[in-house]
Structure 1
Amino acid sequence: MEKLKVIELFAGVGGFRLGLEQARGYEVVWSNQWEPSTKTQHASMVYEARFGPENHSNSDISEVETKNIPEADLLVGGFPCQDYSVATTLQNSKGLIGKKGVLWWSIHKILSEMKNPPKYLFLENVDRLLKSPSNQRGRDFAIMLKSLDELGYAVEWRVINAAEYGMPQRRRRIFFIGYHKSTPIYKEIKKIKAAIWLHHNGIIAKAFPVANTSQSGSSFSIEEDLITISNTFNKGEKLSPFMNTGLFIEGKVHTHKTSAVYDGKKTVLGDILQSETVSDDFLIPNKDIEKWTYLKGAKKEIRTSKNGFTYNYSEGGMIFPDALDNASRTIITGEGGKSPSRFKHVVPSKKGLRRLTPIELERLNMFPDNHTHLEGITDTKRAFFMGNALVVGVVQKIAEKLYDTINS
């Protein structure tokens, strides 16, 4: 069977591509990675070192001309979480333009300007997208759904915690797939009940089964134009109307709360630790143990802010060191470096407590060992990459089911 051609945006160090390549049946024909805040483009350097420089763009995506992007069947990317509000409307036929530099609108621009846009979309973001911003819960997601609807796509989504399906990290992310109205899948979705698609027949349901919870979801329409949605959607409400699973087709939202079903092998933190001797650089000096213990511990104390305001501060304790018989906590971008921290992982070793190595962090995201190892790239930067990355196994499983369904 012919491979599906892929455009990969916000490529980072290539997590999406790894998942697609492991799923087989996909060929990345154009990729883009640009880090606006740094002079040296470290992530792009790693990407090129692993996948080659051919058809890879290291330019600001908002300045890339759409005509320079080849046609493809699928567009993928884990785009940054930002404020997606609609800033302006143009008088000509270009439609809506969001705030400058907000990268959702770069995806929108590419899809709206391509003569033959990709028939499928596969995107990832942090799960708080479903409930942001805090003064208009769910507005950002509503803008995305409606803007894709106007471009001819139906969208299904699910918040997936990788550890609930046996993967080594408790990382919750929203994955959503778009189907263009010209595809057989779109036509199939139109014919069946949304609940059946979301619980049984859908791509995500086949990749990541869910419990047959009571089918009491909710449905509502999003009919307003994007500017009205941006200004008024869910204003004054405390909760987002979007649950962890859903489908949007022809202006109508169908959303359900689902829970994971999995009884296979579970990989835990202890399974991914390097068996060979780890450099003493990762050991926590005895003089720092007290500071680490304090930061990880429960607190109830009075603190004073910079402007002299005093307030009661409290937080719960964390397991210290991290439990080896459970999936790891979420890796964050500040995982690297020696300084004591509440959020960095700490594990026991023969020589004492230590931090995780870059290879172990790669394993928690199911990357190959030393994927980010490159001359001139520090361990701290490698940890930063993994804090930004996704769990490759999640992409692989969804990509396999998507490929099978497209070719069935």
Structure 2
Amino acid sequence: MKKCTSFLLGLFLLGCTHQKENQELAHRILENQDFREVKKQALEVVKTGFNAGDGYGEVWIRDYNTFIELSAEVFDAKELEKNLLVFFRLQGEDGNIVDGFIPKKKAENVEGGYIYIYSDLEPDYCGHKNTVETDHETSLVQAVYKYIQATGNTEFLQKKVGQSTVAQRMEQAIQFLLDYRWSKEHGLIYGATTADWGDVQHTHPWGVYITEDTHYCVDIYDNAMLLIALDNMMKLLPETKDKWQEIRNTTAENTMATLWNAENQKFIPHVYLEESPYPDDFNENEIYYHGGTAVAIEAGLLNKEQIEVSLNKMVANVKASGAGSIGLTLYPPYPDWAFENKGMYSYGYQNGGDWTWFGGRMIQQLVKNGFVEEAYEQLLPMTQRVVKNDGFYEWYTVDNRPEGSGTFRGSAGVLYKVILLLEEWAESKK
């Protein structure tokens, strides 16, 4: 009896300690002045438009998907709807979705660069598609889901674009991936060889278009994005569940069977449809993909123990590289010779640059999976540099210097959302 009483007392005291620690963390979250400033700045930045940031003329779907919820805080729902409809009006007959769109008049003044896509359904804009990437279709489905979650406008799904409704066009977009980007051998969608979630392939000086030199592969980012899109679509269109649920489940199983390295508790960067573009003495599997891992967690592929291991690896990579945050794209970076695009040098751009745009998504998943204190700790470097540099920069160098657009709306969107998640948790612990 005494042993039982002592055990129960120990549990009670442990619970009290845990409660006190939660309350102290909640207080720190709610009193953090940087968080308040970042939220304020995020709202101001998103008020100014929908393009990715200064230096970008286009509205990109992979970016818009990550700040449409923030846009819903300051824009009327009809404004958000207009942008989504442009993507559907520019949809290809095969179901493919463009990467981004730009006013036709601006496109006429651009020399070289993208091959623009036009449609009779869209009078004002033309589009372009970075064909090396395979996340445009899934990003649009996710963006529609977030739009409806934020506005409650389920009628949008039945809006006609040409002869098809938005709901039908969403399914057509996913079907495009199954028809034209599907590896039967692996039961997964494929794309070109890029760095983690990047849209620059290893070959060609620019690297945004598939060429005869493209090496196709399956990777974790694209397939995790597909899983999230399928989950979103089935929630929006429950009548389609019989069609998509089995594909979703099989894709999840194949993703872990093909891409998860259980021994090293990490995702394999690329599994090639044919041969690797890299020499035999280069061990690509040593590289750890931060962004793809974060999206895999969002897709529900990793359990809590695996999430903790993943976070520990990311933190260790940050320490080893000297980077500023777990937004570090990957580690170690690919050698300078691995990409023809000169901006993809080691620790440059998507090859080891530090991107809040994806680091913030990892932190969102930490909160959602119960790693709240860890989320708070990993968020601090990101919010501190927004305040210090007075802007949401596109990416940071390994020594934490800001690069690219200073009004990168994707960064603003993910930071705003993670702060809201932390504040909601903190309010529940008061």
Greater fraction strand: 1
Greater fraction helix: 2
Normalized against structure 1, the TM-score is what?
0.29
